[in-house]
């Protein structure tokens, strides 16, 4: 609007200094408005601290208005000054600048050589200035209330996020303890009970007592080793750019489980031969923990005579399955229902399902061949590898 009204203002200005002053006013008002529009975050706080800048801009605009006349579009643009003052300074600033702009408009009408406007028409623009100032002040209050509500909502969301993070960390540590140290300590307690019974027998067998004491010592050392491994793995999960060959680690885990428990566990590779099987450490740890839990359940609880572990990559999906010929779990759904598993006391299965969900894997529980035993299958898309690595970084 300043650019549109500039020709009229220059043509109506007096020769000499009049044209120069109007030209200076055009340049100053246009550049100030343009700067505020393009970089409000930088110049807005400056205008907030120094109301005299807005007052100076208003006076330069008044010079243009006197030269161009009240019947130009510039007169209607002047209504925006009280609106901006109300937004920035509140109702006091709106009142001051609405009064200043109204006086300027009345003076402009008074300077006309042949005024042809009615008093009502003369008072329209000053009245609009008052209304614009009130609107700006009201909008300021609304924005302040909205800002307070937004900050309160952000604080509530932050507290909820912290609570969810704490709960997730507690659940994760509970899974880690359940799948490693807790089981070993339970074995230590059973071995210690057996040792106490043997030591308190009427006829104590020194060989049996020694064997049971060695079992307690081995179990305690294993619990300590598992604790160190758990801490080391938790620290390694935060190393960026590191990947683990999960199939090689799985083969080592099967061999270690077979040597430790003496269980008939076999391991075989499936899928697309030597396809890529490297995954981020966090994903590898969760997948290995799921498979170890499945082997432990088949050996301890299902009474399985044979456990088969198969793993491989097919179609860009890493698939690992554990199948046994044990008693199985009657009524177990293929898609895990965590609430149902919690109510039935299958906390190990709950931990397996939570581990799979934490890395974006899909887990299913199915019956084995010919309706005997249980098969646990975990599928993880290798396309998530980049996402997980970027997240770690």
- Secondary structure of the chain in the HEC alphabet? CHHHHHHHHHHHCCCCHHHHHHHHHHHHHHHHHHHHHHCHHHHHHHHHHCHHHHHHHHHHHHHHHHHHCCCCHHHHHCCHHHHHHHHHHHHHHHHHHHHHHHHHHHHHHHCCCCCCCCHHHHCHHHHHHHHHHHHHHHHHHHHHHHHHHHHHHHHHHHHHHHHHHHHHHHHHHHHHHHHCHHHHHHHHHHHHHHHHHHHCCCCCCHHHHHHHHHHHHHHHHHHHHHHHHHHHHHHHCCCCCCCEEHHHHHHHHHHHHHHHHCCCEEEEEEECCCCCCEECHHHHHHHHHHHHHHHHHHHHCCCCCCEEEEEEEECCEEEEEEEECCCCCCCCCCCCCHHHHHHCCCHHHHHHHHHHHHCCCEEEEEECHHHCCEEEEEEEECCHHHHHHHHHC
Does position 238 have pLDDT exceeding 60, yes or no? no
Region 133-150 average pLDDT: 89
Tens digit of each residue's pLDDT (9 = 90 or more) over 15-47: 777 677 777 777 777 787 788 778 878 877 887
Q: What confidence tier does 344 reach under pLDDT thresholds 50, 70, 90? A: low
pLDDT for residue 154:
84
pLDDT for residue 80:
81
pLDDT for residue 239:
54
Q: What is the pTM of this model?
A: 0.46
């Amino acid at each position: 609007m300043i650019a549109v009204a500039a020709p009229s203002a220059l043509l109506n200005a007096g020769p000499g200094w009049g044209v120069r002053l109007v030209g200076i006013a055009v340049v100053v008002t246009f550049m100030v408005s343009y700067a505020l529009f393009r970089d409000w975050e930088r110049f807005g706080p400056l205008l907030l601290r120094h109301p005299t800048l807005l007052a100076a801009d208003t006076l330069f605009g008044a010079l243009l208005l006197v030269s161009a006349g009240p019947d130009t579009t510039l007169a209607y643009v002047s209504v925006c000054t009280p609106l901006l003052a109300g937004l920035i300074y509140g109702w006091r600033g709106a009142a001051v600048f609405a009064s200043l702009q109204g006086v300027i408009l009345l003076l402009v009408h008074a300077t006309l050589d042949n005024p042809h406007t009615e008093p009502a028409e003369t008072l329209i623009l000053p009245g609009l200035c008052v209304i614009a100032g009130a609107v700006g002040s009201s909008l300021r209050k609304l924005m302040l209330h909205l800002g307070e509500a937004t900050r309160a909502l952000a604080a509530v969301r932050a507290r909820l996020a912290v609570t969810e993070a704490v709960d997730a960390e507690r659940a994760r540590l509970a899974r880690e303890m359940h799948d490693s140290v807790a089981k070993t300590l339970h074995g230590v307690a059973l071995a210690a009970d057996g040792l106490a019974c043997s030591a308190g027998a009427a006829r104590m067998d020194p060989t049996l007592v020694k064997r049971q004491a060695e079992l307690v010592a081995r179990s305690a050392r294993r619990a300590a080793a598992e604790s160190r491994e758990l801490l080391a793995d938790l620290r390694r999960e935060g190393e960026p750019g590191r990947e683990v060959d999960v199939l090689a680690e799985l083969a080592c885990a099967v061999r270690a489980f077979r040597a430790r428990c003496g269980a008939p566990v076999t391991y075989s590779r499936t899928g697309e031969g030597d396809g890529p099987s490297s995954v981020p450490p966090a994903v590898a740890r969760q997948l290995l923990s799921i498979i170890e839990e499945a082997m432990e359940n088949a050996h301890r609880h299902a009474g399985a005579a044979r456990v088969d572990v198969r793993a491989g990559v097919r179609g860009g999906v890493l698939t690992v399955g554990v199948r046994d010929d044990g008693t199985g779990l009657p009524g177990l759904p293929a898609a895990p229902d965590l609430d149902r598993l919690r109510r039935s006391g299958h906390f190990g299965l709950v931990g397996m399902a939570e581990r799979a969900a934490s890395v974006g894997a899909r887990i299913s529980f199915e019956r084995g061949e010919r309706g005997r035993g249980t098969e646990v299958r975990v599928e993880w898309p290798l396309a998530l590898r980049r996402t997980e690595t970027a997240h770690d970084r």
